[in-house]
């Protein structure tokens, strides 16, 4: 069968199911989802907006989350007790989220406190992490952040204690620290496999922001050469990148922001603009087809295979087995701690 015909059939079946379930069903889609998935969703957003949406909806019974696992898990933590959160593919993980686990972070936190003093650091976890790490933060006076509120969260964390242990994304942490005016010697990278994260005690005592050595393989593919190449090809272009990109890439771009900030930047640009984007390719291609009056170009092609695991077939199977298939469950004790850290983030806005 012709693939498009097949897709149209699947789309129609999902629409029928949506009509049947009405306001009982809420389909949330992350900006990196393929355009046919986004078009079937009730709301598309960045990680922060999606978690806020999941926390706010009281009416629906089923939340189907088209994104990666940590996002659906956060929705399950924030949802009301009568709501069930499902993900069309439970194997849609996130490489970066796998770069930090509770035991290793706990050991790092204790080592840092042994050098800098007990109660000297606030743990700050990026949304791209599992529930247990969020719970670790909730239990120790810490907070969660996303790419859209990292600066507010770091400022909040510094208002609690003099140092911040930021994990798992070193680049988001570095870019945020830089925006807040921290100097190079006030930020150190923590290599989890080395004693004191590979730092000497004096450097740790001086540091304010300690950055876990994690990263996103989709965004660290972008280099200074890609920016220079695009600048030469399209001198009139504006370049916007995601803050998971390395500092040298962000420094050469015209703007930087979360996926929703990127979407807004494109939406608000005048017709005829040329915009080069450094983020996941499905989002860039969707924006290019949504705004044909603007020239939208990728900085370099980079795909998130985890996000791409969500297909029309799997979405259909999920809505046909609503409340039953691929239900995202979180241990109650972990949920309680993670909820504290997520609520602190939601309060920051
Ligand atoms: P946003 O919060 O900007 O949507 O980013 C999520 C993400 O995983 C980017 O790689
Ligand atoms: Fe994780 Fe990177 Fe994919 Fe975002 S783009 S979900 S950080 S692997």
| Residue 98 Ramachandran class (φ > 0 left, ψ -120 to 50 alpha, else beta) | alpha
In this structure, are 189 and 256 located in the same domain? no
What's the CA gap between 274 and 181, in Å, rounded?
31
In-domain check, residue 169: yes
Residues with CB under 6 A from ligand 2: 68, 94-96, 128, 216, 218, 244, 280, 304, 306-307
In this structure, are 63 and 103 located in the same domain? no
Q: Report the mean per-residue pLDDT for the chain.
A: 97
Mean pLDDT score, 321-348: 97
Which uninterrupted H or E stretch holds 281?
Answer: helix 281-290
With CA atoms as reference, report the closest residue to 69 among 53, 83, 89: 89
Mean pLDDT score, 3-15: 91
Candidate of 146, 304, 308 to mutate for ligand 2, largest count of ligand atoms within 8 Å of Cβ: 304
Residue located nearest, by CA, to atom 2 of ligand 2: 216
In-domain check, residue 56: yes
Ligand 1, atom nearest to 32 Cα: 4
pLDDT for residue 4: 75
In this structure, are 287 and 316 located in the same domain? no
pLDDT for residue 1: 58
Residue 268 has pLDDT above 80, yes or no: yes
Residue 288 has pLDDT above 80, yes or no: yes
In this structure, are 60 and 165 located in the same domain? no
204: CATH: 3.40.50.10800
pLDDT digits (tens, 9 = 90+) for 227-245: 999 999 999 999 999 999 9
Residue owning tokens 């990196």: 32
Residue 5 has pLDDT above 90, yes or no: no
Count: domains in the chain: 3
Residues with CB under 6 A from ligand 1: 31, 46-47, 128, 146-147, 216, 242, 244, 258-259
Domain boundaries, position 319: 3-92+307-330
Residue 319 has pLDDT above 80, yes or no: yes
At 3, the pLDDT band (50, 70, 90 cuts) reads confident
In this structure, are 153 and 261 located in the same domain? no
pLDDT for residue 2: 74
Last residue of a domain, one of 191, 215, 239: 215
27 Cβ neighbours under 8 A, 6+ residues apart: 18, 40, 41, 42, 43, 64, 66, 315, 319
In this structure, are 129 and 166 located in the same domain? yes
């Amino acid at each position: 069968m012709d693939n498009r015909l097949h897709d149209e059939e699947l789309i129609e079946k999902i629409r029928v199911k949506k009509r049947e379930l009405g306001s009982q069903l809420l389909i949330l889609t992350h900006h990196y989802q393929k355009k046919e998935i986004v078009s079937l969703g009730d709301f598309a957003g960045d990680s922060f907006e999606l978690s806020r949406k999941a926390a706010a909806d009281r009416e629906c019974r089923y939340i189907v989350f088209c994104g990666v696992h940590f996002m659906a898990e956060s929705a399950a933590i924030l949802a009301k007790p009568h709501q069930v959160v499902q993900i069309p593919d439970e194997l849609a993980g996130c490489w970066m989220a796998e770069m930090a686990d509770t035991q290793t972070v706990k050991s790092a936190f204790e080592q840092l406190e042994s050098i800098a003093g007990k109660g000297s650091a606030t743990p700050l976890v990026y949304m791209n992490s599992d529930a247990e790490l969020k719970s670790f933060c909730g239990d120790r006076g810490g907070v969660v952040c996303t790419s859209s509120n990292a600066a507010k969260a770091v400022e909040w964390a510094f208002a609690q204690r003099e140092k911040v242990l930021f994990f798992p994304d070193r680049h988001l942490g570095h870019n945020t620290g830089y925006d807040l005016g921290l100097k190079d010697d006030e930020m150190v990278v923590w290599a989890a496999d080395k004693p004191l994260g590979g730092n000497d005690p004096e450097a740790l005592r001086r540091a304010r922001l300690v950055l876990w050595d994690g990263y996103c393989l989709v965004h660290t593919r972008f280099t200074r050469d890609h920016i220079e190449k695009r600048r030469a090809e399209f001198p009139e272009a504006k370049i916007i990148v995601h803050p998971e990109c390395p500092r040298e890439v962000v420094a050469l771009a015209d703007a930087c922001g979360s996926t929703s900030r990127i979407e807004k930047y494109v939406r608000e640009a005048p017709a005829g603009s040329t915009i080069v984007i450094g983020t996941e390719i499905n989002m860039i291609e969707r924006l290019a087809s949504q705004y044909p009056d603007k020239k939208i170009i990728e900085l370099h092609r980079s795909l998130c295979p985890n996000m791409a695991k969500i297909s029309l077939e799997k979405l259909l199977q999920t809505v046909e087995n609503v409340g039953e298939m691929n239900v995202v469950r979180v241990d109650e004790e972990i949920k309680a701690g993670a909820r504290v850290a997520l609520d602190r983030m939601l309060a920051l806005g």
